[in-house]
Amino acid sequence: MERSGVEALYRLDDALSAEERAVRDAVARVVDGEVLPVIGRHFREGTFPAQLIPRLGELGVLGANLTGYGCAGVSNVAYGLGLQELERGDSGLRSFASVQGSLVMYPIHAWGSEEQKQRFLPAMAGGTCIGCFGLTEPEAGSDPGSMRTRAVRDGEGWVLDGSKAWITNGTVADVAVVWAKTDDGGPDSVRGFLVEKGMTGFAAREIPGKLSLRASWTAELSFTEVRVPARNVLPGVQGLRGPLSCLNNARAGIAFAVTGAAIACFEAAQAYAAQRRQFDRPIGSFQLTQEKLADMLERIVQAQLLGLRLLRLKDEGKASPVMVSLAKRANVRSALEVARSARTILGANGITDDFPPLRHALNLESVLTYEGTHEVHTLVLGKAITGIDAFG
């Protein structure tokens, strides 16, 4: 089965519009030509392929599901297909796009002032302005309501104090959407602040020692009496609903995107199984290998059908957070299983960065944890099923 084979089995192309296929193919072309040849080296060296940012801007994939302000305005399905192709390259690249589009451009688009939209969105769509999203803190992960970062009024503006951890793009971002408590400090007091590079008291430090998403920037941010002018506060949202809506938006894309990593792993395993010979025959002729490949293909097809349905519902305005939780949980787990299984088919070669499976498997460990951990999504589903909240 060649590239088109994974999708051809269930005639997935027939379920897509011409533009959706065109978007996927346009992104795939950049990934094949410019990402795959260099990504192994970036992962090894722990660097983000920054030279690709202007290409992503030209391609128009950043925030592509938003309309106006220089954004392409494609459907959520088309956007998901684009993310899937980026993920097929590397989850670090896809994470860059998810943060930029769903976690930074989206809240500015949804709740920003007209001036904020004009100032940030076209530049972010073009890749000349990079954003990051600061919700998680050293002491507040799955429970963002316990965040400590505080903003206190200072005349017209605000003064921000606190820190954020595990912030993708943090070290290079021109603008950070930082969520902080205000006034009484209750969960409803949370507001979004646009903290810009160079503001006094704002610092970012790269987190060393990552064994996952190595081709991605991940930072710790600190805010010491950072003066944020009134025009840099998101006027349209208050409370945890703000960051949670961003995450819900990003997760839907991620649920679809992770099949890209699974496809890359499946294809590597399939090719290897055909060519590697032991006991005088291709390892693909052993039933155990065939079972692994059959399981992998099954998971990919299931994930794609689920992801596609989710994004179609999102396009119709009918996707609920529970649907998003189920799809994120199911598809990330499937992709991780596919990657691990592909790794075993490649034997010793499978543990190197010359082949994609272990790189993807390691990356997917982060995807399992960020955007709501696997366990947190289980609790969301558990609550929806039983009506009983098991969070705390």
Partner 1 sequence: MKILVTAKRVEDPESKIKVKADGSGIVQEGLKYKINPFDEIAVEEGLRLAAKHGGEVVVVSIGPKEVQEQLRHALAMGATKAVWVNHGGALDPMSAAGLLKAVLEREKPDLAILGKQSIDDDQNQTGQYLAEWLGWSQATFASKVESLESDAEKAKTPAIHIAADGKSAQVVREVDNGLTTLSVKLPAIVTSDLRLNLPRYASLPGIMKAKNKPIEELTPAALGVDASPQIQVVKLSAPPPRKAGVKVGDVQELFTKLKNEAKVI
Catalytic residues: 371
Helical pair 287-315 and 321-345, crossing angle rounded to 10 deg: 160
Q: 122, 69 in Cβ contact below 8 A?
A: yes
CB of 46 to ligand FAD, least distance (A): 12
Q: Which of 112, 134, 162, 192 binds ligand FAD (CB under 6 A)?
A: 134
218 contacts ligand FAD (rule: CB under 6 A): yes
Q: 284, 111 in Cβ contact below 8 A?
A: no
104 contacts ligand FAD (rule: CB under 6 A): no
144 contacts partner 1 (rule: CB under 8 A): no
β-strand partners of 221: 164, 204
CB of 168 to ligand FAD, least distance (A): 4
Angle formed at CA 164 by CA 159 and CA 169, multiple of 5 degrees: 110
CA–CA distances in Å: residue 341 to residues 287, 315, 338, 347, 378: 14, 33, 5, 10, 23
Q: Would you state the structure tokens that stand for residue 100, as one six-digit string?
A: 């930029």
Q: 83, 260 in Cβ contact below 8 A?
A: yes
Nearer to partner 1, 283 or 327 (CB): 283
Nearer to partner 1, 81 or 376 (CB): 81
Give long-range contacts, CB 8 A cutoff, 24+ apart: 201-207: 201/160, 201/225, 201/226, 201/227, 202/176, 202/226, 204/167, 204/170, 204/171, 204/173, 205/171, 206/170, 206/171, 207/165, 207/166
CB of 363 to ligand FAD, least distance (A): 9
CA 217 to CA 169: how far, in whole Å?
A: 5
Report what 19 binds from ligand FAD, partner 1, none; CB cut-off 5-8 Å by kind.
Answer: partner 1
CA 363 to CA 357: how far, in whole Å?
A: 10
349 contacts ligand FAD (rule: CB under 6 A): no
338 contacts ligand FAD (rule: CB under 6 A): no
176 contacts partner 1 (rule: CB under 8 A): no
What part of residues 166-195 is at the interface with ligand FAD (CB under 6 A)?
Answer: 166-168
What part of residues 82-121 is at the interface with partner 1 (CB under 8 A)?
Answer: 82
Which window, 16-24, 188-196, 262-270, 302-310, contacts partner 1 (CB under 8 A)?
16-24
From residue 49 to residue 88, the character string flagging contacts with partner 1 as x (rule: CB under 8 A) and all else as - is: ---------xxxx--x-----xxxxx---x---x------
Identity of residue 135: L
- 103 Cα distance to chain centroid: 9
260 contacts partner 1 (rule: CB under 8 A): no
Nearest to 217 by CA among 47, 366, 89, 35: 47
Report what 182 binds from ligand FAD, partner 1, none; CB cut-off 5-8 Å by kind.
Answer: none
> Where on the chain is the footprint of ligand FAD (CB under 6 A)?
99, 133-136, 141-142, 166-168, 213, 218, 366, 369-370, 373, 375-376, 379, 391-392
> Where on the chain is the footprint of partner 1 (CB under 8 A)?
2-5, 8, 18-19, 21-23, 26, 29-30, 58-61, 64, 70-74, 78, 82
